[in-house]
Chain A
């Protein structure tokens, strides 16, 4: 059997949209896949996405175009994304939708029976396909069913309830397998593979409980491969969603649609005002978004709304009751209209707050939502198309040979800020591309992982078992749950919506201290079976290390770009007016100078005494950055 057709084994870690698409591509290409997940794959965070998935179908009479989608994505990301992958992503979007549709995804329809599309933030075209109010769940059903079929045919083997702990590398530093822990028996075992794909999702749990993300979005797996040498890019870029309902366990997303359909954001002018909101007169309310951004009012983009709410509560002390909360009010709108347009939001709010947004305004605050940054991945630029070279083994390859990354845990596509409904797209697309790249990579492998000596596998198992032993028998006093709380509070306060260097310096010191404390835990639980505290303790340790990367990256970037906001370095926009006047000319010059200095990818590498930060150029070969954003 030639190397090209030899049966190989690939490990995919993660069964969200990214991982399931990678699995389909690899198993579809005739190679065997071992699919790891913390729980049944259909419970992955991807099911939480409600809003939709972008693809240009141009069926709404708006002359939408793929070029426009590319432009919106690049500009929305403040030009920080490498452009060839974005070009290929937008070009592939319609084909992905058609494929999902064939899988049986119940996309919402127009009266003509065609795919319906809605308007989403940051764009002017109706480009977002959706499936009722549960798009992520519906897309997951589609790929989950296809993978189940491959599983029935013996082409995929699922290892659910297994946690990835680390990579196994050969003498040349190439990834040849993983070590994982059975979350029930706590058995630690090595698995050989000819390539590994990491699709382990986002890291919103670094901000818990101020996050819209699921408990699985810890970033721990990405942190582990980072510590084993994979580069981590653009860690400082993290999106905060402005309107999340308050919650002890999690802050749940209230979609942008609430503002889009006429919702108004306000606080009492007097923060000490304890009256029911309905009793506060119009003249006693401060509609700060309408006040500050008269042109867009309540519909300013996510980052601007988040900062404004942050500023009102944390800086001006104007939050409701002096706390971290503002009102998102729908009560002035027609009840029938709201019920028909925002049924999904109403139902979540009613279900989890126990009150009705039609009767009293919702209480909201910004929450950690989406990581633009992630594991650094490569691509091969195809000069002929301007996009990426299809099937190149370089696409989605991390800096560790044989290790690929896709989905929210990679850094591609979204630059400094992500457009709504672009990440279900990038998770799916990147999964497929990573899978195709793996197939090409396998064709070039001479010696299969099964032929390697056992030593590196045994060594890594021993290393991981030692970490478990240390935690289980530790003499420390720290509770992993409390450390997680402390991490979330620290990140929310200092590496959050608004940043400044003095505060980041303190965050960096505090994280180093937290890491030290995390080395002295007391699990208060020694059960050898399904010990959730042990798994959580390990995750917390790795989350803190990843938080250090985020803080260090944020410290290194002295500018405002997309979601990374350091007011000290803000370039104030000239007041509107003559766009060719001297004020604007001067502004554009400074903007260009800033791009020359900072339009670069941040790359972190693990070092013994903390992350080492460097910068590398961005591929701008598709579209030159034209102009800054202005939403006034």
Chain B
């Protein structure tokens, strides 16, 4: 069949798919409501720890949601927004939660799923049982329901000066420095951090720091120090960064529990970074002592 003949036929048949399309629009909305009632498809029970405001006390609510093949925790939470009715038949406020990319690259949707910190968007229902417990990511102040405030992550990055000091964001007409594929591969692993905070949630040393005190930086920021210290220009500020992690709340707070590396959804070798930084700080300490 030639493309042209096909296209002409298409023009003739447009009216046909139109109607089909319209029907689908309304059926989709109906489908959303159907999710709640349908007994045909698998349904799950969501037990959600809710909290109305940062200072309010948390409480639990339970919902039953019909699921579709391929559903993940974000997609069922989205479906639940349409009609948030608890198993007791009480209509309640939609559950507040964060999500943005829905493909595990923005880090927004991290929460506790059955007690484990995970990105909700890439946690498929197929991996979970028929009763699912959702709680906000621990260690961070709750904003509302499953939303938390991860400002401390940004503060840690600032504390370790996680940046290259450019003269300015303009061209200096010099071509990029050579970097071996081997070094690239090692560095790239660390640059995939999406600041989700999952490693921090799992870290026994990363505590809810009382205001004004300098708590542990945590593995994510340390990994960025490892990354920037290796960069051809980032290297110039290595000393400052190492001093930052040798200070209070720095590297020595790591208790080597190794939880971080087990939970990081991006498979970032956090403990390797911490090990490398251990060696770097030792050398730095000697330099500081003897003048290097």
CB < 8 Å: which of A109, A131, A145 contacts B163? A145
CB-CB under 8 A for A216 and B191, given A99-B169, A106-B184, A352-B72: no
- B273 interface contact, C-beta 8 A: no
CB-CB nearest in chain B for A216: B100
Q: Give 1 or 0 for each of A473-506: 1 = CB within 8 Å of chain B CB.
A: 0000001011001100110111000101011001
Choose the segment among B13-21, B199-207, B244-252, B274-282 that binds chain A (4+ C-beta atoms closer than 8 Å). Answer: B13-21
Q: Is there an interface contact between A490 and B25, defined as CB atoms closer than 8 Å?
A: yes
Choose the segment among B129-137, B173-181, B253-261 that binds chain A (4+ C-beta atoms closer than 8 Å). Answer: B173-181
Q: Is there an interface contact between B101 and A48, defined as CB atoms closer than 8 Å?
A: yes
Q: Is there an interface contact between B94 and A525, defined as CB atoms closer than 8 Å?
A: yes
CB-CB nearest in chain A for B176: A101
Q: Give 1 or 0 for each of A15-52: 1 = CB within 8 Å of chain B CB.
A: 00000010011001000000000011011110110000
Which interface class (under 10, 10 to 19, 20 to 34, 35 or more) fits B? 35 or more
Q: Is there an interface contact between A148 and B188, defined as CB atoms closer than 8 Å?
A: no
Q: Is there an interface contact between A113 and B6, defined as CB atoms closer than 8 Å?
A: no
CB < 8 Å: which of B108, B178, B234 contacts A113? B178
> How many whole Å from A249's CB to the nearest CB in chain B?
4
List of B residues within 8 angstroms of A527 by Cβ: 52, 93, 144
CB-CB nearest in chain B for A574: B4
List of B residues within 8 angstroms of A494 by Cβ: 18, 21
Q: How far is the CA of A615 from the CA of B231 in the complex (A)?
A: 50
Q: How far is the CA of A249 from the CA of B80 in the complex (A)?
A: 12
Q: Mark out the residues of chain B between 79 and 102 whose CB falls within 8 Å of any chain A CB in the assembled complex.
A: 79, 81-82, 84, 91, 93-94, 96, 98-102
Q: Is there an interface contact between B10 and A498, defined as CB atoms closer than 8 Å?
A: yes
Choose the segment among A410-418, A564-572, A621-629 that binds chain B (4+ C-beta atoms closer than 8 Å). Answer: A564-572
List of B residues within 8 angstroms of A580 by Cβ: none
CB < 8 Å: which of B101, B104, B192 contacts A351? B104
A-B contact count (CB 8 A): 252
- B243 interface contact, C-beta 8 A: no
Q: Is there an interface contact between A215 and B99, defined as CB atoms closer than 8 Å?
A: yes
- A315 interface contact, C-beta 8 A: yes
- B53 interface contact, C-beta 8 A: yes
Q: Mark out the residues of chain A between 115 and 137 whose CB falls within 8 Å of any chain B CB in the assembled complex.
A: 115, 131-132, 134, 137
Most chain A C-beta atoms within 10 Å of own C-beta, residue among B91, B169, B178: B169
List of A residues within 8 angstroms of B21 by Cβ: 314, 489, 492-494
> How many whole Å from A157's CB to the nearest CB in chain B?
13
Q: How far is the CA of A567 from the CA of B8 in the complex (A)?
A: 7
Q: How far is the CA of A348 from the CA of B72 in the complex (A)?
A: 13
List of B residues within 8 angstroms of A131 by Cβ: 188, 191
Q: Is there an interface contact between A489 and B188, defined as CB atoms closer than 8 Å?
A: no
Q: How far is the CA of A216 from the CA of B98 in the complex (A)?
A: 11
Q: Is there an interface contact between B181 and A111, defined as CB atoms closer than 8 Å?
A: yes
CB-CB nearest in chain A for B122: A351
CB-CB under 8 A for A109 and B179, given A494-B21, A632-B3: yes
Choose the segment among B154-162, B210-218, B283-291 that binds chain A (4+ C-beta atoms closer than 8 Å). Answer: B154-162
Q: How far is the CA of A458 from the CA of B187 in the complex (A)?
A: 50
List of A residues within 8 angstroms of B1 by Cβ: 291-292
Q: Is there an interface contact between B178 and A112, defined as CB atoms closer than 8 Å?
A: yes
Q: Give 1 or 0 for each of A83-118: 1 = CB within 8 Å of chain B CB.
A: 000000000000111110111101111111111000
Q: Mark out the residues of chain B between 19 and 52 whose CB falls within 8 Å of any chain A CB in the assembled complex.
A: 20-22, 24-26, 28-29, 32, 52
- B74 interface contact, C-beta 8 A: yes
Q: Mark out the residues of chain A between 600 and 632 whose CB falls within 8 Å of any chain B CB in the assembled complex.
A: 632
CB < 8 Å: which of A45, A47, A148, A247 contacts B70? A247
List of A residues within 8 angstroms of B194 by Cβ: 42, 47, 137
Q: Mark out the residues of chain A between 558 and 591 whose CB falls within 8 Å of any chain B CB in the assembled complex.
A: 567-568, 570, 572-573, 575
- A302 interface contact, C-beta 8 A: no
Q: How far is the CA of A103 from the CA of B172 in the complex (A)?
A: 12
Q: Is there an interface contact between B168 and A28, defined as CB atoms closer than 8 Å?
A: yes
CB-CB under 8 A for A252 and B103, given A113-B180, A141-B191: yes
Q: How far is the CA of A304 from the CA of B3 in the complex (A)?
A: 10
List of B residues within 8 angstroms of A151 by Cβ: 158
Q: Is there an interface contact between A352 and B165, defined as CB atoms closer than 8 Å?
A: no
CB-CB under 8 A for A567 and B7, given A148-B163, A216-B100: yes
Q: Mark out the residues of chain A between 241 and 274 whose CB falls within 8 Å of any chain B CB in the assembled complex.
A: 246-250, 252
Q: How far is the CA of A48 from the CA of B122 in the complex (A)?
A: 14
Q: Is there an interface contact between B106 and A525, defined as CB atoms closer than 8 Å?
A: no
Q: How far is the CA of A165 from the CA of B82 in the complex (A)?
A: 24
CB-CB under 8 A for A498 and B94, given A24-B169, A247-B75: no
Q: Is there an interface contact between B96 and A532, defined as CB atoms closer than 8 Å?
A: yes
List of B residues within 8 angstroms of A184 by Cβ: 143-144
Query: Which A residues lie at the B interface, using CB under 8 A?
Result: 21, 24-25, 28, 39-40, 42-45, 47-48, 95-99, 101-104, 106-115, 131-132, 134, 137-138, 141, 143, 145-146, 148-149, 151-152, 184, 214-216, 246-250, 252, 291-293, 311, 314-315, 348, 351-354, 432, 479, 481-482, 485-486, 489-490, 492-494, 498, 500, 502-503, 506, 524-525, 527, 529-530, 532-533, 567-568, 570, 572-573, 575, 632
Q: Can you report 19 A-B residue pairs in the complex whose CB atoms are below 8 A from each other?
A: A43-B108, A47-B101, A102-B233, A104-B233, A106-B188, A113-B178, A132-B188, A143-B169, A146-B166, A184-B144, A215-B102, A352-B70, A352-B103, A481-B81, A489-B24, A492-B21, A494-B18, A502-B18, A567-B14
Contacts A96-B171, A348-B103, A573-B4 aside, 17 further interface pairs with beta carbons under 8 A come to A39-B98, A43-B108, A113-B181, A137-B194, A152-B158, A184-B143, A248-B68, A315-B17, A354-B70, A489-B25, A502-B15, A503-B14, A524-B94, A530-B144, A567-B10, A567-B11, A567-B14
Closest 5 pairs (CB-CB, A-B): A493-B21, A113-B178, A95-B171, A489-B25, A249-B75
